[in-house]
Amino acid sequence: MRRFLRDNGMSIAFLGLFLAAVIGQAIAGHADFNHTAQGHGDPTISLGRYVLSSDFGSAVMENWQSEYLQFTLFILLTVWLLQRGSPESKELDKVGLESDEQQKVGPHAQQNSPLWAKLSGIRRTLYENSLVLVMSTFWLGTWLAQSLTGVAEYNADQLDHQEDPLSWSQYITSAHFWENTLQNWQSEFLAVGSMAILAVYLRQRGSPESKPVGAPHGATGVEG
């Protein structure tokens, strides 16, 4: 048990933080929803009803989709884009998909390599791209969920003001949908860009996200 916790501490800690934060978001969001409803003279709802509502759903999904987009782009673009001196970047002479020998696939796979890394054809191609495929699927799925919950939330507000509701196809071209989408995207892209450049000059001893404290600023793709 102790070894399990030590070996999986990062996942367990972040899962715990996620659960605490999403529960806190539900509680705070429920209070805010009912405060607004009372101000409009509308009925309030229970916490259980709120977490099944489009208001809560769209608030969660708009954040999830931007996180998965961030990782999709970060994983994909770092194949070809470099940042001299950053631990987030590959070494400057390794731009691109690299050789089969460098990637340990096919005949260059090791005995303990994942099974599909040893194969050829479509299965190896799928496995070689499995991280981006899964991340982008999560991104598109949560973005779709954001649009479906968002249109319901938007239309509830429209009806509250005695205005016409929008169809889904009208909503995904609306300023409301794109403002909610882009407000999340800008923060994700800023975070990745900031991390890439700050880690060139700053250090955090012991973190794999940092270079070793004594590593020169120009050292690229080193961790420690």
Partner 1 sequence: MLAIAGCGTADREDDAAAVAQHFHSALEAGDGGAACADLSPETASKLEQQEKKPCEQAILTLELPKGGSVADSRVYVTSAFTTLAQGGSDFLDEGPSGWRVSAAGCEATAPSQPYDCELEN
Per-residue binder mask for partner 1 (CB under 8 A), 119-158, x = binder: --------------------------x--xx--xx-xx-x
Site for partner 1 in 21-40 (CB under 8 A): 37
Minimum distance of partner 1 from residue 148's CB (angstroms): 6
Cβ proximity to partner 1, 54 vs 103, nearer residue: 54
Does residue 174 belong to the site contacting partner 1 (CB under 8 A)?
no
Q: How many CB atoms lie within 10 A of CB 104?
A: 15
- Rounded to whole angstroms, what are the CA distances from 149 to 5, 66, 90, 142, 146? 37, 15, 39, 10, 5
- Contact yes or no for 221/87 (Cβ under 8 A): yes
With 0-12 / 13-18 / 19 or more C-beta atoms within 10 angstroms meaning exposed / middle / buried, residue 202 is: exposed
Site for partner 1 in 56-75 (CB under 8 A): 57
3-state class (DSSP) for residue 1 = coil
Cβ proximity to partner 1, 146 vs 220, nearer residue: 146
Does residue 165 belong to the site contacting partner 1 (CB under 8 A)?
yes
- Rounded to whole angstroms, what are the CA distances from 73 to 79, 98, 124, 132, 158? 10, 19, 21, 8, 35
Minimum distance of partner 1 from residue 163's CB (angstroms): 5
| Residue located via tokens 């709802």 | 45
Residue 153 parent element (H or E): helix 130-160
Minimum distance of partner 1 from residue 34's CB (angstroms): 11
Cβ proximity to partner 1, 65 vs 210, nearer residue: 65
Does residue 54 belong to the site contacting partner 1 (CB under 8 A)?
yes
3-state class (DSSP) for residue 168 = helix
Minimum distance of partner 1 from residue 48's CB (angstroms): 11
Size of the site for partner 1 (CB under 8 A): 26
Quote the CA–CA distance of 69 and 66 in Å, as a whole number.
5
Minimum distance of partner 1 from residue 162's CB (angstroms): 5
DSSP string across 121-137: THHHHHHHTHHHHHHHH
Residue 73 CA, chain-centre distance (Å), reads 10
Cβ proximity to partner 1, 41 vs 121, nearer residue: 41
The piece of 13-21, 54-62, 111-119, 206-214 that touches partner 1 (CB under 8 A) is 54-62
Q: Could you say which of 9, 12, 38, 42 contacts partner 1 (CB under 8 A)?
A: 42
State the residues that interact with partner 1 by CB under 8 A.
Answer: 37, 41-43, 45, 51-55, 57, 145, 148-149, 152-153, 155-156, 158-165
